[in-house]
Structure 1
């Protein structure tokens, strides 16, 4: 079952955080964008499972219902709602994995000895990296939005903060997967040193940077630890 769950998690993260366009994300209260996104979920799930259509269709149908309900009920675009939404998708994936435990093993990739062990681990790595970087960008952004209004007007590179966040989460993820946890502390110290000159006279900016940094690196740590645990289970399966 662990291979099936890994494939479905991989497909979900690709569909939601790599292949979902802005039109899909903002138009789920309309049939066209909702069906387009659902089609992406189905196709990526179908491909990741190696041609198992029923679990892919099941997960895609639940994904559509969750997205439609969220769009109709409305959302305050908070971190809590983001986590609740992703948690609901996670439960749908778990249900699909429990109902079709051998979907991956009986699919195309499971029948190819060279890919049986390697493909799920590669899926886990890619999914974990996207979870740490791309999904983390949304999660940390939603956490920091209420504090952004209190920031002073400062000039900086266009989208520079977002790029810094993606880089620090990506580096944190790589350090965790390579077993270099001490390097995470060095990364935090290095960023703090580079920022000290710009924030030492502004407490609001200092607190904003500290919260954002800890949230960003904390998210990446959780993604890295979770990915390492998943790969360990795949290796023991």
Structure 2
């Protein structure tokens, strides 16, 4: 079961955050867009599990599309609906792995026992960075509009992805003290801007804490899952 869940998690991450372009996210209310997303889910699930004709793959993709359709038609594109949507997708991944625990083992590369852990580590890195960027942006959108900035365009999302990626690597490398260094460096840089806007400070701190919190939570979940899988020669923290 852990092997199947790890591979399905990578399939989900690829379908939602790698192969899905921005225009597809914006037009997901259209049936044809949902169908294209369905095909992407089927393709990534087949690719990751090695199953080319398993009914479980199509069932998983269909449930995923139903969840997406309900979200875009009945709820706003805000933080809570987004997190609920992701939580439901993760539950369906776990349910599929529970009902079809040998999905990976009976696939094309079932004999490659170390592959699921490698997939899990890659999926975790993408989920900590790309998924975190979307979630944090939706969280911050619930507050005042983002303060104007004189910085480089798109520097905010890039900095956020870098800090989450470094947080992920620091914990994986058993160097949690690096997170303190990153947090301190970011705080110092923010205070050097010379602004006295309290809302600006609060906005920045909420985003910073949420960003680090997301990355830490994802990394700990990945470490737990990785402890259930065969090793790939990478030392992970013991719990």
TM-score (norm 1): 0.92
Partner of 1:229: 224
Partner of 2:236: none
Matched, 1:108 2:108: yes
Q: Distance in 2 between matches of 1:64 and 1:150?
A: 32
Matched, 1:142 2:143: no
Could you tell me how far 1:25 is from its partner in structure 2?
1.2
Partner of 1:82: 82
1:38–1:61 contact (8 Å) kept in structure 2: yes
1:199–1:206 contact (8 Å) kept in structure 2: no
Q: Distance in 2 between matches of 1:27 and 1:69?
A: 14
Partner of 1:204: 199
Q: In the TM superposition, what are the counterparts of 1:118-197 in structure 2 within 5 Å?
A: 119-149=115-145, 151=147, 153-197=148-192
Moved more, 195-204 or 85-94: 195-204
TM-score (norm 2): 0.91
2:113–2:230 contact (8 Å) kept in structure 1: no
Partner of 1:70: 71
Q: Distance in 2 between matches of 1:120 and 1:154?
A: 42
Q: Distance in 1 between matches of 2:95 and 2:146?
A: 43
Could you tell me how far 1:90 is from its partner in structure 2?
1.3
Matched, 1:97 2:97: yes
Q: Distance in 1 between matches of 2:201 and 2:177?
A: 24
Q: Distance in 2 between matches of 1:67 and 1:172?
A: 30
Query: CA RMSD for the aligned pairs?
Result: 1.5
Partner of 2:10: 10
Q: Distance in 1 between matches of 2:227 and 2:204?
A: 34
List structure 1 segments (4+ residues) > 3 angstroms apart after TM superposition.
none
Q: Distance in 2 between matches of 1:48 and 1:150?
A: 38
Give the match's secondary structure for 2:227: helix
Could you tell me how far 1:199 is from its partner in structure 2?
5.0
Aligned residue pair count: 230
